[in-house]
Amino acid sequence: MTTATSNTTKIVKSKSQWAVIRAQFFKNPLARVGLFILGFLYLIALFAGFLAPYGLAEYSTENRISWAPPTPIHWRDKDGKFAPYVYGLKREVDNETFRDKYVEDPAVTCPVKFFVHNPEIEGRSYKFLGFIPSSLKLFSVDAPCKLYLWGSDNYGRDQFSRVMYGSQISLTIGIIASIFSLILGLILGGIAGYFRGFADTLIMRMVEVLSAIPDLFLLILLRALFPINANPILVFYIVVGLLALISWGGIARVVRGQILSGREQDYVQAAQALGASDTRIIVQHLLPNSATFIIVALSLAIPGYILTESGLSFIGIGIVEPFASWGSLLKLAQDGGFESLDTRPWVLIPGLFIVLAVLGWQFVGDGLRDAFDPRRRR
């Protein structure tokens, strides 16, 4: 009796290039940390209106509470049950510094309410996802109490709420400016590298002129061309446009070099012989070969734009009142001088968010660069 044995051969399916890149990216621990940080920050920006207990510019006109410290939350009532509440604030004068200070007033008690609708209060309404009207707040307290998780500013506005709303501008301006500068760099770099001649000379001379002028002075000069009392939304788009206008040169240089080397390849010559247009050759054949550079450059450029916007808002030529970005909020620390580090350190919290956003994008950018580079793969 003979026994037939069959050898089973296991077929291993090959991975695509993008699957290999994705696997290499998630092997990098810092890249995973950066992705988690960015996910957390962009969720804050997405749900800013829901998370912020107050409106962006909401403050009490009757009894303005300037530079109030963070409000302590008491989590249990007298019976030991979970029932968070806060006390009212009472203004006193410090006998040593002769300045106002705020202490809890046990005579006034307000429960912390969750999932509250207050559409009748001016400034509480917002547009969820940019187009869905809503006034739902995660938590809030009724007047006369105030819930300042991270203290208040000099106008008595809630610092926590303004940091939440400020994340929408600080995080989106980097992406928008990067995309605009990337589009300019791809178009102009592609034209310079493919057509060469006069177009190449003109575009490269423009890049050299822009790179010869210090970025900060060029931004101040361009911003000075617009009125100081311009609409804050207009100022936002102006800042985005200026950031994109001065930053496309580096991308154009690299794209030009890749187009110059790629246009001599056999597949480009074959496409020209088959009658393909110049636009089709550039868009469908040459630029896709720059995808690696484009993705990595985009991820590494975004933190630079976040820092640039923060710096411009910090010196007063970026985002202006009543809107807020992390840079404009950090300006409160400068206005307070050294006193901010001692008596009101909560004004430095926006700086922590700037650091987290920049670190997150840097970690993700480094992870993408290593994942795309075969020599650095693990």
Which CATH number goes with the domain that contains 312? 1.10.3720.10
Q: Among candidates 375, 376, 371, which has minimal Cα distance to 31?
A: 371
Q: What is the pLDDT of residue 2?
A: 47
pLDDT score, position 217: 78
pLDDT at 63: 64
**Of 173, 2, 148, 176, the residue nearest 68 (C-alpha):** 148
Question: Which of residues 141, 157, 173 is at a domain's end?
Answer: 157
167 plus 119 within the same structural domain: no
Residue 264's Cβ-count burial label (10 Å; 0-12, 13-18, 19+) is exposed
Whether residue 112 is contained in a domain is answered as yes
Q: Are residues 242 and 95 in the same domain?
A: no
Q: What is the full per-residue pLDDT of the chain (378 aa) written as tens digits?
A: 444 444 555 555 667 767 877 888 888 899 999 999 999 999 999 999 899 999 888 876 656 678 888 999 988 877 778 889 999 888 887 777 667 788 888 888 999 999 988 877 777 888 877 778 888 899 999 888 889 999 888 888 899 999 999 999 899 888 888 888 888 888 888 888 888 888 889 998 888 888 887 877 777 777 777 776 677 777 777 778 888 888 888 888 888 888 887 777 777 778 778 777 777 777 777 777 777 778 888 888 889 888 888 888 888 777 877 788 898 888 877 765 556 667 788 888 999 999 999 999 999 988 888 887 766 666
Cα–Cα distance between 46 and 48 in angstroms, integer? 6
Q: 142 and 215 in one domain? A: no
> Does residue 12 fall inside a structural domain?
no
Please compute, for residue 6, the number of CA atoms within 13 A of its CA located in the half-sphere on the CB side: 3
The pLDDT value recorded for residue 374 is 66
92 and 191 housed in the same domain: no
> Are 246 and 334 part of one and the same domain?
yes
Do 152 and 55 belong to one domain? yes
Would you state the pLDDT for residue 4?
47
Domain end (from 157, 175, 209)? 157
171 and 134 within one domain: no
**Is the same domain home to 144 and 247?**
no
Take residue 171 and report the two structure tokens written for it. Answer: 């995080």
pLDDT at residue number 82 = 85
Residue 237 lies in a domain: yes
Whether residue 359 contacts residue 297, with contact meaning beta carbons closer than 8 Å, is answered with: no
Are 354 and 11 in contact by the 8 Å Cβ rule? The answer is: no
- In this structure, how many other beta carbons lie within 10 angstroms of the beta carbon of residue 120? 8
Q: Are residues 108 and 167 in the same domain?
A: no
317-344 per-residue burial string, b: 16 or more CB within 10 A, e: under 16: bbbbeebbbbbbbbbbbeebeeebeeeb
103, 118: one domain: yes
Of 157, 189, 223, which marks where a domain is finished? Answer: 157
What percent of the chain is helix, strand and coil (3-state, nearest 5)?
55, 10, 30
The tally of CA atoms less than 13 A away on the side-chain side of residue 327 is 22
**In-domain check, residue 290:** yes
In a domain, 9, yes or no: no
Does a structural domain hold residue 291?
yes
Within a 10 A sphere around the Cβ of 66, how many other Cβ atoms?
A: 15
The residues, any chain, with a CB within 8 Å of residue 210's CB and separated by 6 or more, are 218, 246, 249
Q: Is residue 43 part of a domain?
A: no
Q: Is 33 part of a structural domain of the chain?
A: no
Two structure tokens written together for 166: 């400020």
| Structure confidence at residue 360 (pLDDT) | 93
Query: Please, what is the Cα angle at 183 between 178 and 184, to 5 degrees?
Result: 100
> Where in the sequence is the domain holding 60, given as residue range(s)?
49-157
Residue 231's identity, in one-letter code, is: N
Same domain, 213 and 267: yes
Which of 159, 190, 146 has the alpha carbon at shortest distance from 281?
Answer: 190
Query: Is there a single domain that holds both residue 179 and residue 101?
Result: no
pLDDT of 7: 52
Q: Which two tokens stand for residue 8?
A: 């089973």
pLDDT of residue 61: 60
Residue linked to tokens 């009212």:
88
Closest C-alpha among 270, 101, 293 to residue 185: 293
Q: Number of structural domains, the chain?
A: 2
What radius of gyration do the chain's Cα atoms show? 27
Please give the model's pTM, rounded to 2 decimal places: 0.84
pLDDT for 12: 56
